[in-house]
Structure 1
Amino acid sequence: MKTVTTAQLRSRLSMLQGRPRVVVSGNLATPWKAVEALDHAVPTYILNILNGAEGIPTREGVIAETCFVGAGQRHHPALSYVPCRLSMVPDATLAALRDRKDLRVWTEMFSDGVLDLEERGAMDHTTPIITSFVAGSQRLYDWLDGNRRVLMQRTERTNDPALIARQRGMVSINTALQVDLFGQANASRINGRIHSGFGGQTDFIVGAMHSPGGHSFIALRSWHPKADVSTVVPRLADTTTSFQQSAIVTEQGIAFLLGNDEKQQATEIIEKAAHPDVRDELRSAAAEFGLDNPTY
């Protein structure tokens, strides 16, 4: 361990360029002397603290960034809230997914799409396909009959988040009826009435997000043709089924959520996932919610 004086620390910190991100411990263990030295030495910076207590500098140029808002951050003039499960704070970065071979399937259910992948040689033949049930064509059922490649298991096993998380590089793909600017998804209710159960969606989102290298996607159309409405809304009126997935995907593009703060998330959803016909309306709603400033 090397001990330095406050003056020496200020001198070192003053060498930082641009707007550095400085991470310090939170709760009751914040090194306030070091924060004070930072505030005197660096004109503008991002201070990342979990559950920050009173005493965080509030002057212009200081951004209070956190995944868990503490008493000293709730009314900060430049609060940057980054939604994240606390069990994933060290891993809150989003790496671009790349094309893969030797695909493996661990799922609650599958249909003919898996058979198509199998016939094209995209699957890993050294690993069984794990599922709880299957629904599809007669051709799929004929392929399943006596097929040792497919291992049927009880739903409480296939949908166990802990077991899902053990699958390295697990990517879960679920759908929804609506998503909103906060990244919340409604997959179960329409106008307050139950439309379907949320099934294994929450299990697979949590499991995939805790898998090493894993990600979770909500995929849906940006516009519902039958109801003639946008599926991206300002804020859900119905029950939230899930939240904090890696990204929302529509035919418009991919809105990345993981690793972005709530303002950046809203901008991603509006500009990359929402239908162009409703983007102006969503931008106005974002401004009303205080989500209209994704950059500083």
Structure 2
Amino acid sequence: MSYLENGWFHEIHHYMDLGISLALEIDEVLYQEKSEYQDIQVYRSKKFGNVLVLDGLIQCTELDEFTYQEMIANLPLYSHPNPKKVLVIGGGDGGVLREVTKHPLVEEVVLCELDEKVIEVSKRFLPKMAMGFSHPKVKICIKDGIKYLEQTDNQFDIIINDCTDPVGPGLGLYSKKFYEQMQKVLKEDGILCSQGESQWFDHELLKDMLDFCKTIFPDVAYAYAPMPTYLGGQIGFILCSKNKDVKLGEPIRYLSEGELDAYELSYYNSDIHKSAFCLPQFSKRRLGL
């Protein structure tokens, strides 16, 4: 649940007997509307810039969005030897597109987004993220990701599943059937990277997902990164490879300082890539890794 009160936006979650809340101080409500699929709000906060909220859950803020976007894009891109064709499922804010199109080997990016209104709102209120939509490598498909996978004849080197939390329109993106469909659309050496919730609070869901991913893919791994404005202060990533010889925790190409500057990367680098897969012992036990 979430609510706005006395100039503060509150996002509240309950996990079994544990309750946790995140609050951001708000200057102004910039946008509020219910689309065909979900409630969409944009707030201007005092310290975190503009904030996109879907169905009461913070999706991104201008201050810290780069961490999530750079990691979910570059972990798979720099694990693949030649990522020419990329599918992004979700990602209506444009941040993942922005990062994927920086990659020199990528030739085509297809973005499949269910809710066109999210794209419109992001272009208006999150222009530094939505710049990805204008890139010539990008093709936009307004469609349910599940239906797209069922109907497409395309094959991809990389799939980035930039899904929302498992509520509302995002619920089906956490099923075994959906991961089986993504596996079929990947090329023989393809890599999948999905938003992976919190190792602190979602370990039961993640354990189930990682277990069924291991029955579909020969190599499965979990990584994470800090995110100040996500509940729990971090976000995870599920990575799956159809090529058992790929080491998901080891970048296949290392970026120089010049490349890091040229690609305007603020969080991701080759050392971060490796360290993101170093899990605390409690997570290894909980997740079966």
TM surpasses 0.5: no
Higher relative contact order (CA 8 A, sep 6+): 2
Q: Report which of the two structures shows the higher radius of gyration computed on alpha carbons.
A: 1
Q: TM-score, length-normalised on structure 1?
A: 0.35
Q: TM-score, length-normalised on structure 2?
A: 0.36
